[in-house]
Structure 1
């Protein structure tokens, strides 16, 4: 673990204001990244993502999966998903994310991008079902991809790259003031799996 992060300032905030984003770099050895990438590709219940936008039912090439405690329901783009029970690999990765962030996570949204043609438009993870301003730990396996932030008011943009086996943490008021996206690219021909560990609001 931590074979590569020593050269990265993990305390550096990538955002100039209005939130905190820390890039912790690669946390895993080459063999570990291969192991987890294979586990995630083969043992996750992947489904094509669905969204209902302006009355249209959209099915994406990108695939998603939702895992967590107690069968949590998560709604975004007017579509609801119910959390599946944690797999052994996901529990191991959640423990690492919790150790690195000092945060307890109760759910994980996974995205599978088959190649660079698939991406994600600008959005914020600010749904009411998420604990406001709580950290979101974004873990990546597979192809390295460019990742962008855009301020909602000033429109200024920040660009970084997410490496194989890396961890990016978004916290504080990041989701309130910033959008983020994964832009498509013709340069990437390999798959990427992204895990975003989150804290859902537990309703009594």
Structure 2
């Protein structure tokens, strides 16, 4: 990995931000292609015995057989699109990592969000590496330590940025995208993962 980037976490993990991996023109083009070509859907989830709709649209793409389950949802991979393969190649080159699947999120505006969580499902293995790419409207990405809740970090994820989380981050830190009603424009986020067991 390019070692010119500093770890954003003070303890218990590694998070790196590559703020302009994709330039403005390429980011706009990829945003339009992803908006049009991805098979977006809104999934129902059960929380405390009540079924609600996820506050964002999602899609799951990846290698054959790389299914993924979270929050009571099991997603089976759609085949990679060319733009997803191009993005994957770019982040693998700069990170030195390999990814076999991707969860896509479309935040339609600031009312869409994702609550505090860790990407620590058994299928991701020990110390999973997570690569997060953003296009469209900037959104604030929040992290807080799982045990020491006073340890908090906020990172602005602009269009074209790439955030890499690795080592013990998913064991020790929660992350979220909080609601912000002032935001009216959409954002697409692609979370690249490596499924270890299916």
Q: Sort the TM-score into its range (normalised by shorter chain).
A: over 0.9
State the Cα distance separating 1:60 from its structure 2 match.
2.1
Matched, 1:198 2:173: no
User: What is the distance in 2 between the residues matched to 1:10 and 1:186?
Assistant: 36
Asked whether the equivalents of residues 71 and 85 of structure 1 are also in contact (C-alpha less than 8 Å), the reply is no
Tell me which protein shows more strand as a share of its residues. Answer: 1
Matched with 2:183 is: 188
SS of residue in 2 equivalent to 1:47: coil
Change (3 A) 1:173 1:167: same
Q: Which segments of structure 1 move beyond 3 Å, counting only runs of 4 or more?
A: none
Matched with 1:164 is: 159
Cα RMSD for the two superposed structures: 1.3
Matched with 2:134 is: 140
User: What is the distance in 2 between the residues matched to 1:139 and 1:167?
Assistant: 5
User: What is the distance in 1 between the residues matched to 2:115 and 2:38?
Assistant: 24
SS of residue in 2 equivalent to 1:26: coil
SS of residue in 2 equivalent to 1:188: coil
TM-score, normalization by structure 1: 0.92
Q: How many matched pairs? A: 195
Matched with 1:151 is: 145
Change (3 A) 1:198 1:35: same
| Unaligned stretches of 5+ residues in structure 2 | none
Matched with 2:57 is: 63
User: What is the distance in 2 between the residues matched to 1:145 and 1:56?
Assistant: 28
Asked whether the equivalents of residues 10 and 24 of structure 1 are also in contact (C-alpha less than 8 Å), the reply is no
SS of residue in 1 equivalent to 2:64: helix
Matched, 1:11 2:5: yes
State the Cα distance separating 1:28 from its structure 2 match.
1.6
User: What is the distance in 2 between the residues matched to 1:172 and 1:103?
Assistant: 12
User: What is the distance in 2 between the residues matched to 1:150 and 1:49?
Assistant: 26
State the Cα distance separating 1:127 from its structure 2 match.
0.4
TM-score, normalization by structure 2: 0.94
